[in-house]
Amino acid sequence: MPAPVLEVRGLSKSFKAVKAVRNVSFSIAKGRTFGIVGESGSGKSTTARLVLRLIDPTTGDIRFQGVDLAAMRQEELRRQRRHMQMIFQDPFGSLNGRMTVRETLTEPQLVHGIGAPASRAEVARNLLAEVGLPSSALDRFPHEFSGGQRQRIAIARALATNPELIVADEPVSALDVSVQAQVLNLMRDLQDRHGTTMLFISHDLRVVQFMCDEIAVMYLGEIVEQGPRDRIYGAPAHPYTQALLASAPGKGAGKRARLSGEIPSAHAVPSGCAFRTRCPHAHERCAIEPPVMRQLDDGQQAACHLLDQAVSV
Ligand code: ADP
Ligand code: MG
């Protein structure tokens, strides 16, 4: 099997007293999409920023195409960035309002010394066509476009250096529901065409289900369950995953308990299992002992004491 494009081991990040990301491990094979889902504050964006080393980990390894990013110096890191691009939630914030679309799409090539001026302009035109915008858009500015169109421009920009990895953090969360599907379809098509590997983050279970081959569910900084999409949605093993699925809009009243209560503060993560304060199955042991990740079938894994006792939940 070829080495994964991205391999993260034991990744943690603290901001003073806040443990934003705790001991996160996963890997993504070439051309695959790995999803991270979880409520707001679960550490998804921090994980994304760590993976691209926009921030430094407190502990842990990040291997990108076999190279240790965590140990890399700024200059090396700058060169690597061409191979790893990011798409953010808010295309207004991520695009420079003073740059035309042409400049927006040629700048990443310029920064990384890719191509001659004429070929950069050609790449910009082609990218624009690929994301379904006319070449007349080249001389316009971001504010002249709708939210969906701006996100198309941000996607084109992310592809401008022909990256191996794209990290997309809530890329459709700011868009109207009617536009979300178009943008997601576009991202899937482009990924197929370019063979790009993707880390895809969303709080929305349906979006992650549509996009991802493999999914990690995060709660208060930790991955509590991980596995192939069909296992996560068809046979969720962790009570948190089960509750999230039961709470998803459009699901009707399932047999399983919906998610109740508020997510605890990251300043005061509960002892033992972090989910126990909202878990319908919590018992004594859950307050004392943190559950370890347990291997299930088909590459699925979950961290819950109920699995140790082979009690079906
Ligand atoms: P998500 O993207 O899943 O909503 P985040 O990764 O943004 O979660 O945040 C995880 C936790 O880390 C939250 O409690 C958040 O308040 C905290 N956090 C994130 N960034 C910082 C920062 N720069 N300084 C302090 N706390 C932060
Ligand atoms: Mg976030």
pLDDT in tens, 280-295: 999 999 999 999 999 9
CB 261 within 8 A of CB 188: no
Residues with CB under 6 A from ligand 1: 15, 18, 20, 38, 40-46, 266
C-alpha distances in angstroms, 63 versus 8, 70, 163, 215, 257? 6, 8, 16, 19, 38
CA 23 to the chain's CA centroid: 16
**Closest listed ligand to the CA of 89:** 2
SS3 142: helix
User: Looking at this protein, which amino acid is placed at residue 95?
Assistant: L
Q: Is the pLDDT of residue 198 over 80?
A: yes
pLDDT per residue as tens digits for the range 29-79: 999 999 999 999 999 999 999 999 999 999 999 999 999 998 889 999 999
User: Looking at this protein, which amino acid is placed at residue 269?
Assistant: V
CATH T-level fold of 6-212: Rossmann fold (3.40.50)
**Closest listed ligand to the CA of 43:** 1
**160, 63, 38, 252: CA torsion to nearest 10:** 80
pLDDT per residue as tens digits for the range 222-252: 999 999 999 999 999 999 999 999 988 765 5
CB 77 within 8 A of CB 51: no
Could you give the residue range(s) of every CATH 3.40.50.300 domain in the chain?
A: 6-212
Compute the distance from residue 37 Cα to the ligand 2 centre, in Å: 10
